[in-house]
């Protein structure tokens, strides 16, 4: 029989159905002459199931018409001797139900090749199984890339180089960076510009070393051009973040750099709020409008984030300040002491973190640069797990290319994390771990961050003069050597270990030593230090309403006595940029746009 010559394509005991096809004689026709109309019922069933599945992919009439035409073309070209048996094989291999006996006649193809001339061929009865929900055939149309199982829709495939921070060569890094920059230059629509600018931002975040390649490749010049031509605010916001990551700073609005520095001091930060209200009253401007750079430590860091980044109202901040202090610093002695022994924190650190998240939010610091009215903000903490205790700066900006700060720092953390790390006062709250660094209150190292603020600001605007520095303290008492009597003078005896420790801590957190140095170095019309004298030096965790009221009274009294000094500071802050400076800014911008600076 000619049928046996074509079944050599399958040698795995595949059971398939034989149907007699009669012609002009009683012999079986050669399978090479079989067409689609002569296909066995099993193969028809499989193809019908395929067509039914594909027809469910879309209800569009055009899709259905194309599908019908394609299947008609397939049926015209199909060779049942080859493709038909392949369909049956895949159909059999993917079946997951045990086969049952049936009246359909089948034959063992492997044996049939050797016994095709034997009229007593062994016949078995078997049917191709079906699954409960229909025929399962994942390999039939493998080339179409269609899944035939009832699974969830496949997730978007992300290239591995985008998903993982892999180590790549310098040449590969340069190539990728050039490609990203070129894609921004080729963008035409608003959405494509936005998408590609954010792609550059994400690329530099993933590979910080790509920043140098981007600057050398003209990324700053390109972004400035796009920003100049684009009016859409959301695109300009994305460009502002990208420029900030690249270390670009916009020209200053005033004559020079205006710096605000806020000391640590816990609840005594209420004094700072009262003094800032006075400045806002005189100038008629909000805090974030008066200053270009705001730096704080401990409670000053919380105020810097609230005023500079979140741009909250002073009255609302003061109200929330008292509310949060009451919630956190209300603690029973027994619970606080036991917590101090076990976790080295007297107060509930988990509650403190929860309240900070609610009050400051979880947005990353660098992303806050999307708001063009946001000043540069820095929060200072102390890293205590290094060989030497060192300052760490949480920034919402990035330093320019080839510029290195004397302090460690990052802009990748969230706002609340910066405040949490900077205000992790020893014994009050637990140390705060970020990555491999262990942070404590920055006040143990630099409780007056004015010098740190000057250093950072000059790195951002190296060619600009300092217009005004306003430094706020959180209260002080009359120095011992200025007191009129010596009633509090102790006898010259050997001091206790506790007394020695407290004296060392007091010396480390002293704020007036920095003030004395800066007061000698800077002109009087540039540097203004405000630090009220207090009737009673309150603890950082004081929540007694009467004592807090006295604190506010001391602030008001200090404002009255220093009215003239506040007026002079306000006048300095309001000095505008000169015409010469504006011309130089325009010239510098044109150089950037034309690439004269070689960037």
Cα-to-chain-centroid distance, residue 99: 56
3-state helix, strand, coil in the chain (%, to 5): 50, 10, 40
pLDDT at 103: 40
pLDDT at 181: 93
pLDDT at 291: 97
Residue 470, Cβ density class (10 Å: 0-12 exposed, 13-18 middle, ≥19 buried): buried
* Cα separation, 511 vs 537, whole angstroms: 15
CA nearest 135: which of 12, 35, 41?
A: 41
* Cα separation, 256 vs 260, whole angstroms: 13
Beta bridge partners of 468: 258
**pLDDT tens by residue, 104-131:** 444 343 444 444 444 444 444 444 444 4
pLDDT at residue 444 above 80? yes
**pLDDT tens by residue, 528-586:** 999 999 988 888 888 888 999 999 999 999 999 999 999 999 999 999 999 999 999 99
Cα-to-chain-centroid distance, residue 309: 16
441 part of the active site = yes
Across the range 78-83, mean pLDDT stands at 51
pTM higher than the cut 0.75: no
Pairing of β 390-395 and β 376-383: antiparallel
Give the phi and the psi of residue 516 in degrees, each rounded to 5: -60, -45
- What is the DSSP-derived secondary structure letter of residue 80? I
Across the range 438-463, mean pLDDT stands at 93
pLDDT at residue 91 above 50? no
Grouping H, G, I as helix, E, B as strand and the rest as coil, residue 523 is: coil
Most confident among 129-133, 173-177, 330-334, 337-341 (mean pLDDT): 173-177
Grouping H, G, I as helix, E, B as strand and the rest as coil, residue 293 is: strand
CA nearest 131: which of 99, 87, 84, 89?
A: 99
Average pLDDT, the chain: 78
Residue whose structure tokens are 């230090």: 529
CA nearest 390: which of 449, 460, 450, 439?
A: 439
* Cα separation, 71 vs 44, whole angstroms: 12
Across the range 217-240, mean pLDDT stands at 92
**pLDDT tens by residue, 162-215:** 555 556 788 888 899 999 999 999 998 999 999 999 999 999 999 988 999 999
Residues 346 and 331 sit within 8 Å (Cβ to Cβ): yes
Residues near 444 by beta carbon (within 8 Å), at least 6 away in sequence: 382, 389, 426, 505, 508, 509
**pLDDT tens by residue, 17-61:** 444 444 444 444 444 444 445 556 666 777 777 777 777 777 777
Across the range 354-383, mean pLDDT stands at 95
Residues 587 and 251 sit within 8 Å (Cβ to Cβ): no
pLDDT at 215: 92
Pairing of β 376-383 and β 293-297: parallel
pLDDT at 493: 54
pLDDT at 345: 77
* Cα separation, 537 vs 369, whole angstroms: 38
State the chain's maximal CA–CA distance in angstroms.
136
pLDDT at 149: 45
> How much of the chain, in percent, has pLDDT values that exceed 90?
49
pLDDT at 251: 92
Across the range 119-145, mean pLDDT stands at 42
Secondary structure, 3-state, 552-570? HHHHHHHHHHCHHHHHHHH
pLDDT at residue 455 above 80? yes
Token representation of residue 251: 């020209």
pLDDT at 117: 43
**Banded model confidence at residue 494, pLDDT cuts 50, 70, 90:** low
pLDDT at residue 437 above 90? yes
Give the phi and the psi of residue 253 in degrees, each rounded to 5: -80, -25
Per the model's pLDDT, the better-predicted residue between 169 and 319 turns out to be: 319
> How much of the chain, in percent, has pLDDT values that exceed 70?
70
Catalytic one of 306, 441, 471, 554? 441
**Banded model confidence at residue 593, pLDDT cuts 50, 70, 90:** confident
Catalytic one of 81, 240, 261, 298? 298
Residues near 244 by beta carbon (within 8 Å), at least 6 away in sequence: 366, 369, 397, 398
**Segment (H or E) for 467:** strand 466-472
pLDDT at 412: 93
């Amino acid at each position: 029989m000619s049928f046996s010559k074509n079944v050599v394509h399958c040698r795995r005991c595949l059971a398939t159905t034989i149907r007699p096809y009669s012609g002009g004689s009683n012999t079986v026709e050669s399978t090479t002459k079989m067409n689609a109309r002569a296909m066995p019922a099993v193969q028809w069933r499989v193809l019908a199931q395929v067509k039914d599945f594909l027809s469910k992919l879309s209800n569009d009439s055009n899709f259905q018409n194309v599908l019908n035409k394609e299947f008609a073309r397939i049926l015209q070209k199909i060779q049942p001797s080859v493709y038909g048996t392949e369909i049956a094989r895949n159909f059999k291999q993917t079946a997951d139900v045990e086969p049952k006996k049936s009246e359909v006649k089948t034959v063992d193809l492997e044996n049939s090749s050797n016994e095709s001339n034997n009229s007593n061929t062994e016949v078995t009865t078997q049917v191709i199984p079906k699954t409960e929900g229909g025929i399962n055939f994942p390999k039939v149309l493998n080339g179409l890339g269609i899944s035939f199982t009832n699974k969830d829709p496949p997730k978007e495939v992300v290239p591995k180089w985008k998903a993982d921070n892999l180590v790549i060569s310098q040449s590969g890094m340069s190539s990728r960076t050039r490609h990203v920059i070129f894609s921004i230059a080729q963008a035409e629509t608003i959405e494509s510009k936005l998408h590609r600018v954010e792609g550059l931002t994400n690329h530099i975040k993933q590979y910080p070393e790509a920043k140098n390649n981007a600057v050398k490749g003209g990324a700053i010049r390109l972004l400035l051009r796009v920003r100049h031509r684009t009016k859409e605010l959301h695109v300009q916001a994305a460009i502002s973040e990208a420029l900030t990551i690249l270390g670009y700073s916009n020209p200053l609005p005033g004559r020079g750099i205006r710096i605000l520095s806020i000391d640590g001091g816990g609840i005594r930060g209420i004094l700072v709020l009262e003094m800032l209200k006075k400045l806002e009253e005189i100038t008629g401007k909000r805090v974030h409008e008066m200053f270009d750079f705001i730096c704080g430590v401990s409670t000053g860091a919380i105020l810097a984030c609230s005023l500079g980044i979140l741009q909250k109202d002073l009255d609302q901040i003061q109200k929330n300040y008292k509310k949060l202090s009451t919630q956190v610093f209300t603690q029973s002695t027994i619970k606080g002491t036991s917590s101090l022994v076990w976790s080295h924190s007297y107060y509930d650190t988990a509650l403190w973190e929860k309240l900070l998240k609610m009050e400051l939010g979880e947005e990353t610091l660098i992303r806050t640069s999307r708001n063009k009215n946001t000043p540069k903000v820095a929060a200072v903490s102390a890293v205590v797990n290094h060989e030497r205790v060192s300052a760490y700066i949480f920034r919402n900006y990035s330093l320019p290319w080839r510029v290195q700060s004397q302090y460690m720092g990052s802009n990748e953390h969230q706002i609340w994390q910066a405040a949490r790390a900077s205000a992790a006062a020893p014994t009050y709250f637990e140390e705060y771990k970020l990555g491999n660094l262990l942070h404590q209150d920055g006040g143990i190292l630099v409780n007056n961050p004015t010098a740190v603020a000057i250093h950072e600001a000059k790195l951002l605007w190296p060619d600009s003069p300092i217009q005004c520095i306003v430094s706020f303290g959180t209260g002080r008492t009359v120095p011992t050597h200025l007191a009129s009597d010596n009633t509090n003078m102790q006898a010259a005896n050997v001091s206790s270990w506790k007394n020695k420790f407290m004296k060392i801590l007091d010396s480390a957190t002293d704020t007036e030593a920095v003030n004395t140095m800066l007061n000698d170095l800077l002109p009087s019309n540039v540097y203004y230090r405000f630090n009220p004298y207090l009737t009673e030096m309150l603890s950082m965790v004081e929540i007694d309403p009467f004592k807090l009221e006295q604190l506010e009274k001391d602030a008001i009294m200090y404002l009255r006595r220093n009215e003239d000094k506040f007026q002079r500071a306000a006048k300095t802050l309001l000095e505008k940029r000169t015409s010469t400076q504006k011309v130089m800014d325009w010239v510098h911008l044109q150089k950037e746009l034309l690439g004269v600076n070689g960037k």
